[in-house]
Amino acid sequence: MTTAPPYLDERAIFELAPWPDAVAAVEQVLLDGLDPDRVPQRSIVDVPHGQLLLMPGTTPTGVGVKLATVAPANPDRGLPRIQAVYVLYDPESLAVTALLDGTALTTVRTPAVSAAAVRHLALPSARRLVVFGSGPQAWGHVEAVRAVRPVAEVVVVARRRAGAEALASRLAATGVAARAGDAEDVTTADIVVCATTAREPLFDGARLPGHACVVAVGSHEAEARELDGTVLRRADRVVVEDAGVAMREAGDVIQAVASGDLAEGELIGLRDAVRLTPEAGGSVFKSVGMGWQDLAVAQLVHRRWQEVHGA
């Protein structure tokens, strides 16, 4: 009799892939030699109320695919903007070995990827974080960044003040000083995270301190951006998952290159960034999300599940 593959839900994912371990899993895949330029690319299909995303991933030890949807109107319905299921396969037989809650997996892997970049870009003393957004990704990024930097103060900036205050209260309950704020709070930030659905810049890049590390994860479309050209022009280091992918999907980067604020040749791939040492100058990490990242965290979760269940 064939045993049905396990379904690893949100609780299992958060229990089996705590932030430090998820960050380490993403980083280790790159240190082991994965080249994001040589992995399968995702497919994006526009549908009447959003998008369908097919995100395959391969590494020397794993194969998987995330089936995801992006529904921009969902937050107003009380539903997640991104919903997904993940299918993990045996790399040799290609038999299904596990199904995972892809929505929870995304909530973990995107901040984990950002935190892996922050570990090599932000000053080790970085303590003040400004986060734009109040949804799952905003929360996840605060927690993931706290795993790699001594964040002591968080300012939440959101389109809806009530959302910012709710996230600030949630964070304060974990012992970090947190409050709702506005875009001017970037003037004293060590780290800025943009995790929104915005299609236009969220703040004036000229207001950033020279040492600030900026992370932008909110869009994967050429026409959308969260950062203005000034942010990228002033940055000493601009890191992307892969230059080719960024020039297809990262509106922040595409538009900055088009305006002359950034040269494509200045882009640093994440596989090289995880070998960098933080410097005093400003930095940017722009992420659009890639399938290998989901696979790295899914494999971690499944491996831990097998250890617990003796599988």
Q: Model-level pTM?
A: 0.94
Average pLDDT, the chain: 95
The Cα 287–Cα 113 span in angstroms is: 8
> Residue 60 burial (CB < 10 Å; 0-12/13-18/19+)?
exposed
Q: Which long-range contacts (CB under 8 A, 24 or more apart) does 2-9 make?
A: 5/88, 5/96, 5/97, 5/98, 5/99, 6/98, 6/99, 6/305, 6/309, 7/98, 7/99, 7/100, 7/101, 8/98, 8/99, 8/100, 8/101, 8/301, 8/302, 8/305, 9/101, 9/104
For 223-250, write each residue's pLDDT tens digit.
999 999 999 999 999 999 999 999 999 9
Amino acid in position 223: E
pLDDT digits (tens, 9 = 90+) for 77-116: 888 888 999 999 999 999 999 999 999 999 999 999 999 9
| Domains of the chain, start order | 7-106+292-309 (3.30.1780.10), 121-289 (3.40.50.720)
Residue 11 DSSP class: H
